[in-house]
Amino acid sequence: MKKNKPNRFVIKLILMFWRDFIIRLSDILPDIRELNYLRWLIYKYFLGLNVGAKCMFVGGLSITTDAIKNLIIGDSNYFNRGIRIDCRGGEVKFGNNVLIGPGCSFDTGGHSIILNNNKIRTHTSGSIVISNDVWLGANVTVLQGVVIGEGAVVAAGAVITRNVPEYCVVGGVPAKVIKRIKKTSDKDE
């Protein structure tokens, strides 16, 4: 007798539901410091997320489950509550020592504002790179194709539509450079 092989689609669907369940489980954990490490373990070992050491997750991340392989998180990062990462259109890379305020959103996909001949807006996509030592305030939105330079600070509520230079403060909708930050060494402090 011939054994029935499971359908690839069914296996993929089960894995997607499993990942989504695990993400939701990590999201309902209370905000207790000791449970932040548990979230890190869940993301790294149960979901297979590429996450570095010493990362803190205050609340669960909302991640597109079918694109987890496109998310790369460096070492010593801090993720606050309510962070949404949609990496279906490209990679989202976080450097080291990145601070992310509550309610931030990262979108690697979008649509063109121009209608084509069939009256359809074409899909656009691009990767997002958050360099080392970046601080994003609350409710920042980072859109496709953006690189945020090392040491940059993004004001709360900003919408990042273009690259952000190193060591500067940006804010607004769309975000603009507000001022440059003097890079200090440990000796200056």
Longest Cα pair distance anywhere in the chain, in angstroms? 77
Tokens standing for residue 187:
């000796």
Catalytic residues: 111
**Cβ-contact 164, 158 below 8 angstroms:** no
- DSSP assignment of the chain equals -PPPPPPHHHHHHHHHHHHHHHHHHHHHS---HHHHHHHHHIIIIIS--EE-TT-EESS-EEE-GGGGGGEEE-SS-EE-SSEEEE-SSS-EEE-SS-EE-TT-EEE-EEEEEEE-TTS-EEEEE--EEE-TT-EE-TT-EE-TT-EEPTT-EE-TT-EE-S-B-SSEEEETTTTEEEEE-----TTT-
Structure tokens at 10: 């069914």
